[in-house]
Structure 1
Amino acid sequence: MKNISKILLTIFSIGLLTSCEKDLDVNTNPNTPRTINSSLALASAEASIVAITGGELANLGGFYAQYHTQAPSAGQYDIIDQYNLPTSYGNALWSELYSGALNDLNYVIEEANKEGNTGQTLVATTLQCYTYQVLTDVFGDIPYKDALQGTSNINPTVTPGDEIYTDLLLKIDNALAAYNANPVASDFGTQDVIYEGNMDNWVKFANTLKLKIYMHMAYTSLANPTAVKALLTENNFITKDASFAKFGTQTSQRNPFYETNLSSSPGLGDINHVASNSLLSFYDLNNDPRLTAVYRATTAGTYPSLNQGDGENFTNTAVSYARPNIIATTPVYLMTVSESYFLQSEALIRYSSESGAKEKYDLGVQNSFTTYSLTISQATALTGTGGAYEFISGLSVEQAVRQVMIQKWASLANVNNIEAYIETTRTKFPEVVAFGTQDYSIGNRIPSRTSILTSTTIPSILFYPQNEVDRNINITQRASITQKVWWDQKN
C-alpha cells in the first residue's frame, strides 16, 4: 500500500499495513505487522480508496464539474483548468488503486473464499467492483481480466469498458447470491470503517452500486430496463451514507483534500481553490442554503466567485473569494442516500413512465440537505409547489432527467466530486454552453476561460498513466482526452 493510505490508517490506530506492493521494510518499523489478516487488508483497501476518491479525484472532479476553479495569483492547478493534463497525471492514483485497494481486496476475497465467509466476500467484492467502476469511468478500457496476477503477468491487456461493466454486475450478483444462500457475518467490526461490518448495509450498498452501473449504461445498447425494474421492485437500497468519517485534526489524520490543499502545506495551503460561478451562482440565484455548506465566506462574510478558468485575468488572491468548505474532519463519501434516490428517480423516468419519480427526486434533495447538515424543511421549501426546485411532471424524458441531474450535480459538491464529473459527462447535464450564453440559475457550465480545447469541448477521459504505458507493452497511450468512455453515447 502506498504512503498516502498508510497515513490515513493512523486515523483509526490499526497500524501501518503491508500489502501486495509494499514500499516500507517491516523489519525497521515496529508499528507494521509482520502478517496481515483480512480485517487489516480491508481497512488498508478502504484507506486507499478514500485517499484517492477523496483526494486527487475530488480535486480533479471539482474542477471538471465546475465546483471550484483556480484562484488568481496561484497556479498549482492551471493545467487542470486549462484541460491540459500531462500523460503523467494519473500515475499516483492508478498505482494506489491497483497496488493498494484492488490487491488488498483480492487478498480478502481469496482468504474469505477459503474460509467460506460469504460476508467478507460480499464486502470485498462490492468494494472491488466500486473501485473498478471508478477506474474504468475515468480511464476507459483498463486492465481487468488479466489484472492482479503479480509477476505471473506483468503486461496485462486492457478489457473493453462494456465487458468490465457486464462482469462487475455478474460478480456482485454472485457475491449476493452466495451470501443470501449462506449468510456468514463478515466479523470486520470497526476495521470496516465504512459500515462497521453491518451486512444489511453492505447488501444495500451492493444493490445501489448495481443500480448505478445500470444507469451509467442508459444511453447504450446494454441498457437493461428489466433488471432495473427488478431492483426498484426489491427496493433494498442504502439508507445510510457510505462514508469514511474517522478523520482527526492532527497532521496525517485529516481529510485528504484538506490535508493536501487547505492545510498549511507549503505552496498549497488554501491558495488555489476558489468557488466557480457555475455552482455558487446556481445556489445563490435559487436561494439555496447549500451555498454556505459547500463554500466558506470571505472574512467580510461574502461569497464572491469566478467564472470557470477566469483566475488568470485577476491579480487578487484566494482569500478574496469563497472557497471549498472542507475541514480536517469532513467525511469522504463513496455513495450517499441522496445519490441513491436520484438514481431511482432517473430509472423511474426512463423505464416506468415517470411513475414515482417525483417522490424519489424530492427525497434525493431532502437527503442532500441532510448530508450537508441542513434541515429537511429547508429542502421542502425549494421542492414544494412553486419552489425553485419543484419537480415538473409531464416533460420529455430528457427534460425530466435534466431536473434530476441538475439536483444530483448540486448534491455532490464536496461529497463525491468525481462522480459528479462522470455523471455530467454521461448525461450532458448541466450543459456546457458558450460563455456569455450561460444561465447559471438553471444550471449551466461553460468551457474554462483558459481552455486549450475548441468551442464547448471539455475532457471526457484521462490519459493512461505514463508509468503504466512505459511498463506495460499492452497499453498504448490515447491520443486525446476528448476521446469518449464507452457509455458516453448521448448526442
Structure 2
Amino acid sequence: MKRTIKYYLAGLAIAALVLPGCKKFLDVNENPNATEKAGEAQILPAVQASAAYVTGQYYQVFGGMWAQYWTQAQTSNQYKTIDSYASTASDFNTMWSLMYAGGLSDTDSLISKRFIKKTENYAAIGYAMRAYIFQLLTDAFGDIPLKEALKGDKNLSPKYDTQKEVYDSIFVWLDRSISLSDPDSDFTPGSDDLIGEGDMEFWIQFANTLKLRAYMRLSEVDAPRAQAGISAMYTAGAEFLSTDAKVSYSTAGGNQNPLYAEMVGLSRVQNIRASSTAVNQFKANADPRLTKFYTLVGGIVESTRQGSFDTTNTERPLSRPSPLLGGDARTDVSASAPVKLISEAESYFLQAEAAARSWGTGNAQALYEAGIRASFAAYGLTPANANTYIAGAGKWPGGTVAAQVKAIITQKYFAMCGNQSFEAWSEYRRTGFPDFLVDSYASVLPAGVKPARFLYPQTEQTRNANYPGNKKIDEKVWWDK
C-alpha cells in the first residue's frame, strides 16, 4: 500500500524531541515535552518520531559498526570508540533518555485513552509502539526499569526488571494492541500516524510481526515458549506485514533522516565508510544490492578492513553508505532516506524461520525467497535481478533445519545492510550468523570477543539509587546464548 506521509508532522515531532537541549533529557522519569496535555493527534507523531530518531541514528550507527557494514573513516574521529569497542557509559545517555522521557512517556498518554471510544485505535498504536521501544531498550541494555518506570516525580529511582519480565510485558502489550485495533471504526488516526496513516489492519499486522520477532528472539533461551507462542499465533490466523513499517523524511530542514541530520550537524564530516567484512561478501555473491548500499569510487565499491582507521594518516578513497540509507553526508538525497522499524523483507524472513523450525505454517523456501525479492524491490532492483541471485548465491539450501536457519539469517543480514543495522546485530547475537564477522582491527577486547550489549548510561549511575551496577560491553543479555 502506498502511504503519503505528512512530512511536516514528522518534522514538528522530531523538533519537539531534539531542540530543547540535552539537559532536559537527563532524568528518565521526567517528560520534557509535557505532551500529556496535548491531544492524541499531537502525541502520536511525537512517539513515532522519537522511536524513528533513536532507531535511525544511534542504533543505526552502533549496529552498522558492530554488524560490520560500516567502519570509521581514517581521517576523522566521531565513531572510533564504537569501532574499537571502547564506548563509555556516557555514550548511551541521550538514546536512553530519549526513549524513556520521550517516546515511552508519551505512550502513557495514548494508552490512558483506551476506554474512550474515539481514541481506542490511538491506544492500540500506543501499545504497539510501547512494545517496540521497550524491545529496543531491553535488546540493547538487558535488564531495564519497567514496572516502576514512567512515574515522574513519584519514583526517580525505579528498580530494574529482568529481561524476561520485559519480554513478558511486550507480549501483553502486543495482545492489547491487537484486541483494541478496530479497522471498522469511524474513529481512526489519519496523517498524524506517520507509520500507518490510520490503517488499523496494518497495525494488527505490525503487532503480529513484532510479536513474531519477539518470540523468535527467545529461540535459544526458551525454545518451548517460543514455539508455543508462535504456533498459537498461526492457529489464531495471524497476518503479518507485507510492506515496510517506516517513517519517511524529506529534504526540508527539520524533517531529515536522523543519521543524515547528525552528519550535517557535524559540518558534513563523513565518519562512516564501507567495511570490507560486508562488502567482500556482496562482491563474492555478485549481489547487485552492493551499489545500492554503497557509493562508487572510480566505478567500484572501495572498502577497508573493519577498525583500520589508525593504520594510515592519509585516507585512500573509500565508498560511503548510499544516500538511499541516509549515510552520505555529501549528498542531500540522504535527507529523504526512510527509517525502517520493521521491513517487508524482515517479515518474510521471520515467517521463513518459523516455517523452517516447524513452529509456523507456510513454505519456508517460498517465504525465504520472498524476503530476498522484497529486499531487491525496496532498492529498485528488478524481479529478474532477484531471480538470478536466488538461482545462485541466494539459493535455498534445503537439508537440515540448522542449514536453513543459517541461510535465512545470512540473507536477512544482507537485506538489512545499513537500513536495519541494529536488528542485524541482534540477530547475529541470537544465532551466531552470519559467520564471517571478524575482530575489529582496533578492538580493545580479547581476540574473538565482540560487543554483546550497550552499557548502562552514566545518568543512571549518578541518579538512580537502584542502579544495578556496571556491565561489561561483552557481557551477554539474557536471550543471547
* Same fold? TM cut 0.5: yes
- Measured after TM superposition, the shift of residue 118 of structure 1 is 2.6
- Measured after TM superposition, the shift of residue 401 of structure 1 is 0.6
Q: Could you tell me which residue of structure 2 aligns to residue 321 of structure 1?
A: 318
Instruction: Please point out which of 387, 393, 399 is paired with 2:398.
Output: 393
- Supply the distance in 2 between the matched residues of 1:361 and 1:60 (Cα, whole angstroms): 27
- Supply the distance in 2 between the matched residues of 1:264 and 1:478 (Cα, whole angstroms): 31
- Supply the distance in 2 between the matched residues of 1:372 and 1:131 (Cα, whole angstroms): 26
Instruction: Please point out which of 442, 450, 456 is paired with 2:442.
Output: 450
- Measured after TM superposition, the shift of residue 45 of structure 1 is 0.8
Instruction: Please point out which of 228, 241, 244 is paired with 2:244.
Output: 241
- Supply the distance in 2 between the matched residues of 1:354 and 1:376 (Cα, whole angstroms): 25
Q: Could you tell me which residue of structure 2 aligns to residue 275 of structure 1?
A: 274
- Supply the distance in 2 between the matched residues of 1:35 and 1:147 (Cα, whole angstroms): 20
Q: Could you tell me which residue of structure 2 aligns to residue 419 of structure 1?
A: 423
With normalisation by structure 1, the TM-score equals: 0.87
Change (3 A) 1:13 1:93: closer
CA-based RMSD: 2.5
Name the stretch that deviates more: 87-96 or 307-316.
Answer: 307-316
Change (3 A) 1:379 1:34: closer
Q: Could you tell me which residue of structure 2 aligns to residue 188 of structure 1?
A: 189
SS of residue paired to 2:191: helix
For the Cα contact (< 8 Å) 1:9–1:43, is it kept in 2? Answer: no
Aligned pairs, how many? 453
- Measured after TM superposition, the shift of residue 169 of structure 1 is 0.5
- Measured after TM superposition, the shift of residue 369 of structure 1 is 0.9
- Measured after TM superposition, the shift of residue 46 of structure 1 is 0.8
- Measured after TM superposition, the shift of residue 376 of structure 1 is 2.2
Which residues of 2 match residues 42-441 of structure 1 at below 5 A?
A: 42-115=44-117, 117-179=119-181, 184=185, 187-221=188-222, 223-233=225-235, 234-245=237-248, 247-261=249-263, 263=264, 265-266=266-267, 269-298=268-297, 300-317=298-315, 320-325=317-322, 326=326, 327-352=334-359, 356-384=363-391, 387-395=392-400, 397-431=401-435
- Supply the distance in 2 between the matched residues of 1:177 and 1:416 (Cα, whole angstroms): 28
- Supply the distance in 1 between the matched residues of 2:245 and 2:193 (Cα, whole angstroms): 11
Cα deviation, 1:189-243, whole Å, max 9, x if unaligned, reads: 0011101111010000000011000000001126331321232452400112101
SS of residue paired to 1:191: coil
- Measured after TM superposition, the shift of residue 95 of structure 1 is 0.6
Cα deviation, 1:71-106, whole Å, max 9, x if unaligned, reads: 112121110011001011110000101101001111
- Supply the distance in 2 between the matched residues of 1:455 and 1:98 (Cα, whole angstroms): 35
- Supply the distance in 2 between the matched residues of 1:33 and 1:172 (Cα, whole angstroms): 23
- Supply the distance in 2 between the matched residues of 1:14 and 1:128 (Cα, whole angstroms): 17
- Supply the distance in 2 between the matched residues of 1:238 and 1:379 (Cα, whole angstroms): 20
SS of residue paired to 2:115: helix
For the Cα contact (< 8 Å) 1:82–1:450, is it kept in 2? Answer: yes
Change (3 A) 1:275 1:163: same
- Measured after TM superposition, the shift of residue 11 of structure 1 is 4.7
Cα deviation, 1:435-466, whole Å, max 9, x if unaligned, reads: xxxxxxxxx11010010101111010111001
SS of residue paired to 1:467: helix
Change (3 A) 1:184 1:149: farther
One-letter amino acid of the counterpart of residue 230, structure 1: A
For the Cα contact (< 8 Å) 2:43–2:110, is it kept in 1? Answer: yes
Change (3 A) 1:480 1:422: same
One-letter amino acid of the counterpart of residue 308, structure 1: Q
One-letter amino acid of the counterpart of residue 393, structure 1: G
- Supply the distance in 1 between the matched residues of 2:213 and 2:14 (Cα, whole angstroms): 34
Q: Could you tell me which residue of structure 2 aligns to residue 3 of structure 1?
A: none
SS of residue paired to 1:313: coil
For the Cα contact (< 8 Å) 1:69–1:309, is it kept in 2? Answer: yes
Q: Could you tell me which residue of structure 2 aligns to residue 438 of structure 1?
A: none
- Supply the distance in 2 between the matched residues of 1:14 and 1:452 (Cα, whole angstroms): 39
Q: Could you tell me which residue of structure 1 aligns to residue 463 of structure 2?
A: 471
Change (3 A) 1:479 1:205: closer
SS of residue paired to 2:414: helix
Change (3 A) 1:379 1:316: farther
Change (3 A) 1:265 1:353: closer
For the Cα contact (< 8 Å) 1:74–1:317, is it kept in 2? Answer: no
- Supply the distance in 1 between the matched residues of 2:274 and 2:213 (Cα, whole angstroms): 28
- Measured after TM superposition, the shift of residue 264 of structure 1 is 6.8
Cα deviation, 1:317-367, whole Å, max 9, x if unaligned, reads: 37x011111211000000011001111111111225996111110000000
Cα deviation, 1:107-136, whole Å, max 9, x if unaligned, reads: 111123344633111111001100000100
- Measured after TM superposition, the shift of residue 373 of structure 1 is 2.1
SS of residue paired to 1:90: helix
- Structure 2: where are the runs of 5+ without partners? 1-6, 26-33, 327-333
- Measured after TM superposition, the shift of residue 186 of structure 1 is 5.2
